[in-house]
Amino acid sequence: MTATTDGSAGAVSPRAAAASESTDTTVLATGPDRSAARALERAVEHLLDRQDPEGWWKGDLETNVTMDAEDLLLRQFLGIGDPATTRAAARHIRGAQREDGTWATFHGGPGELSTTVEAYVALRLAGDPPEAPHMARAAAWIRARGGIAAARVFTRIWLALFGWWRWEDLPELPPELIFLPKWVPLNIYDFGCWARQTIVPLTIVSAERPVRPAPFPLDELHTDPRRPNPPRPLAPLTGWDGVFQRLDRALRAYHRFAPRRLRRAAMNVAARWIIERQENDGCWGGIQPPAVYSVIALHLLGYDLEHPVMRAGLESLDRFAVWREEAPGPDGEGGPSRMIEACQSPVWDTCLATVALADAGLPADHPALVKAVDWMLDEEITKAGDWAVRRPGLPPGGWAFEFHNDNYPDIDDTAEVLLALRRVKHPDPARVDAAVARGARWTLGMQSANGAWAAFDADNTRTLPNKLPFCDFGEVIDPPSADVTAHVVEMLAHEGLAGDPRTRRGVDWLLAAQERNGAWFGRWGVNYVYGTGAVVPALTAAGLPPSHPAIRRAVGWLVSVQNKDGGWGEDLRSYDQVSWIGRGVSTASQTAWALIALLAAGERETEAVRRGVAHLVGTQREDGSWDEPYFTGTGFPWDFSINYHLYRQVFPITALGRYVHGDPSLRKGR
């Protein structure tokens, strides 16, 4: 495979060479310190070479092949498929298939039923015959696990669009949901923003129940093609399953007799809600699933493909495509492949890269850092979004994850951006101060009632949406998490607000959320290593001494799960199986997270840190980067996993930088 946007760096650029000269690593003369300094220099050069001329960084965001399969299904549904795109997508999907015929949701993970069903169907659309060995293996595995009937609801919705599944056998999702007041349970604002943006357009799809002629049958994916969906017994009314099963039956009856004017009004309001939330780049929420379903919903309501809203939406989806050139494999076939990103992460990547380079010793006024700050300042969101439903009086001021997502700034990005802005000496400090003040004010205003912070909304904690039979695709609410709260606490401490009562409530929540083993759960990164790597630096920044019992327990846990090779790794199965907690193949990003925590806890001279640093140095590639096929990020814990291709670079630089130059919080005497 040739180099991609995440490939090897070429010749060292003048700015990278200048950065290397300006990084004060010469003070470390011998042994592992000198090796770490040299590794740091190479890594800095590599990262600087990857900065966009506009000032941002962005690595590929790799998920699983359902994104690629659903993209092909969308094109088939709209009639806009083209042979070149189909061949390239199929090449990528084929390349991700496991030996047993299945597809996993993360590197090294087990086969997953719904992912395998969608990948199989996409390859059939691309022309792969069902009798081909790789297809036959996949179909046999699917049948052995219950067939299409056992797949998740979202997979069966895609199949229903082509008549491969009956709409009547799917949970009902009425568009009248849009009319529920904000105080009524199961109103759309009870769902996390990602679920909300997906469910609203799907209410239109569910009401319309469209069917495009299927180009072929899928009998080979049913355990019994004569009875593809045997009736399921009613669950007892003593549990939520039974309650919602009967509610779904009632809603199915309502579907047949729903007043036409009311239903049409609901769909029109839902369509207006969707259109109002389309971003300037044509996407919705900066993520692929809401964009896909919004395009389908509007198309069903009569928006033709040349309508500006539709055209912009389809163009935005094309920008999620990462094209690569595949080298010929054992079968001699090579050529272009096409991977669809579920999302893009330029703001997140840029603030993390800025912090990493500052930790690596670049001068605070280095041109690359100043340019990054200029770009981040331009990305500030100064208008209200859906978060204002719960915080109507709060002035805006935050950052999103993506290039364009003004409706949904997120608290995690905002906290990390503010930390990054404060690490750079900008020629217009007043502009930086004003942006930081707005961001800190907005972040404080988004604190939940329990004292912690979530990613996008405040107090989005009603658990009822999770119990809906429709919501089997992952987390659908946005409760506070330890990792986001930690980043906020760390930011507030660096803003001189460590003693503020709101910050102390966050600290208290973190201390109460510590697991018995000394770790913290990681909501947006894998997993306890990520959570612990975020919380320990936050607590020390907020003034807790390294001798504090909570920090000592965290250190003890990290040391206890260090791998024999000196690194750290934690498999995504740790979200599902207790035996996997703290266990997994060592990765560059997870090793860095552990080191960042240990360094913040004053453990620099310990054997654990020395071995961890040696692991990073020993696994670095000649171009200054690290290889990391394992997924260390999460969208939904266990259900949707992410490989952020820049994590393998920015976090090792931060860890090595703090090892070589000292942790910034400790240097400030906190």
H or E stretch covering 536 = helix 528-541
Q: What is the DSSP string of 209-249?
A: ---PPPSS--GGGSSSTTSSSPPPPPPPTTSHHHHHHHHHH
Closest C-alpha to 273, from 204, 340, 224, 320:
204
Under 8 Å between Cβ of 56 and 375: yes
Known catalytic membership, residue 412: yes
Per the listing, tokens 């019992």 go with 549
CA dihedral 127, 132, 134, 137 (to 10 degrees): 120
Torsion sign across C-alpha atoms 629, 630, 635, 636: positive
For the chain, report the end-to-end CA distance as a whole number of angstroms: 47
Burial, 383: exposed, middle or buried (Cβ in 10 Å; 0-12, 13-18, 19+)? exposed
Q: Is 340 helix (H, G, I), strand (E, B) or coil?
A: strand
H or E stretch covering 326 = strand 321-326
Give the single-character DSSP code of 327.
Answer: P
Helices 83-95 and 66-78, packing angle to 10 deg:
160
Burial, 53: exposed, middle or buried (Cβ in 10 Å; 0-12, 13-18, 19+)? exposed
CA-based max dimension of the chain = 80
Question: CA 612, CA 615: separation in Å to the nearest integer?
Answer: 5
Under 8 Å between Cβ of 270 and 200: yes
Marked catalytic residue, from 68, 412, 413, 571: 412
Question: CA 295, CA 268: separation in Å to the nearest integer?
Answer: 15
Q: Is 284 helix (H, G, I), strand (E, B) or coil?
A: strand
What are the backbone dihedrals phi and psi of residue 323, each rounded to the nearest 5 degrees, phi first? -95, 135
The H-assigned helical ranges of 52-106 are: 66-78, 83-95
H or E stretch covering 641 = strand 640-644
For strands 61-62 and 640-644, give the pairing: antiparallel
Which residues are catalytically annotated?
412
